[in-house]
């Protein structure tokens, strides 16, 4: 079955830049989405179609893509950014697939 | 604005059944790709099933772990879709989310325990 691979954890100091990668063989052909999830809450969309940002998401959050890897970048990390981040895409049949999630810790 | 509101959770005995309803407002379900996702405590997101749009055939697909036990139904007249869960196991204990496009319901906790 199709898999998306994320690092389990990323740690950064406030004001620094956090990068979270997501790798998958179909990513060159299928869009990726990124969700932020805080404890006890439902996931929230922060990036769609690889690089697009919903209106209420700050510009310091961005997405990029290169080959089989998509990357979420959070610039000027703040304490409020501490959360779990999940990438999501689809396989060739349109079945939703999630990465394993990355816990972002703000030191 | 699209909103998804899920019905409440509960405690179910192993082998029992439970149904979660996702009510969608702000869009027509006939245009929507609808999915169910679950998350066990401390774990990641797991896709468990989908129902296609009528124009795509309206068929369903399920993850291997729930296939044959879980069923997804849609009611376009009420703008709802349900997750029917049968033969529940303790490992099905999780928060269940409906997902329409990239919009999530608030989550429903289902606990399977004797």
Q: Does A85 touch chain B (CB under 8 A)?
A: no
pLDDT tens digits along A32-87:
999 999 999 999 999 999 999 999 999 999 999 999 999 999 999 999 999 999 99
Task: Report yes or no: A31 at the B interface, CB cutoff 8 Å.
Answer: no
Which of B86, B74, B91, B83 has its CA nearest to residue B108?
B83
CA B104 distance to own-chain centroid: 11
Say yes or no for a CB contact (<8 Å) between A96 and B106.
Answer: no
Please write the tens of the pLDDT for every residue from B29-67: 888 889 999 999 999 999 999 999 889 999 999 999 999
Q: Given CB atoms, is B46 within the 8 Å cutoff of chain A?
A: yes
Tell me which residue has tokens 């979270």: A20
Query: CA nearest A78: which of A10, A11, A14?
Result: A14
Please, are residues B62 and B51 in contact by the beta-carbon 8 Å criterion?
A: no
Backbone angles phi, psi at B105, to 5 degrees: -70, 175
> Measured between CA atoms, how close is B87 to chain A, in angstroms?
24
pLDDT of residue A24: 95
Burial B47-77 (b: 16+ CB within 10 A, else e): bbbbbbeeeeeeebbbbeebeeebbbebeee
């Amino acid at each position: 079955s199709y898999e998306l691979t994320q690092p389990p954890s990323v740690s950064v100091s406030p004001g620094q830049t956090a990068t979270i990668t997501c790798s998958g063989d179909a990513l060159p052909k299928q869009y990726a989405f990124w969700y932020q999830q805080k404890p006890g809450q439902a996931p929230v969309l922060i990036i769609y179609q690889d690089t697009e940002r919903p209106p209420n998401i700050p510009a310091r959050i961005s997405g990029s893509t290169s080959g089989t890897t998509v990357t979420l970048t959070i610039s000027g990390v703040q304490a409020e950014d501490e959360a779990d981040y999940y990438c999501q895409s689809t396989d060739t049949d349109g079945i939703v697939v999630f990465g394993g999630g990355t816990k972002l810790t703000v030191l | 604005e699209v909103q998804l509101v899920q019905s409440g959770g509960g405690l179910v005995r192993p082998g029992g059944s439970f149904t979660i309803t996702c009510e969608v407002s702000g869009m027509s379900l006939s245009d929507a790709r609808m999915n169910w996702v679950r998350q066990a405590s401390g774990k990641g997101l797991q896709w468990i099933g989908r129902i296609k749009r009528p124009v795509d055939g309206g068929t369903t697909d399920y993850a291997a772990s729930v296939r044959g036990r879980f069923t997804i139904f849609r009611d376009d007249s009420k703008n709802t879709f349900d997750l029917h869960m049968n033969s529940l196991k303790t490992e099905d204990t999780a928060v269940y989310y409906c997902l329409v496009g990239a919009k999530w319901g608030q989550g429903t906790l289902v606990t399977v325990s004797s």
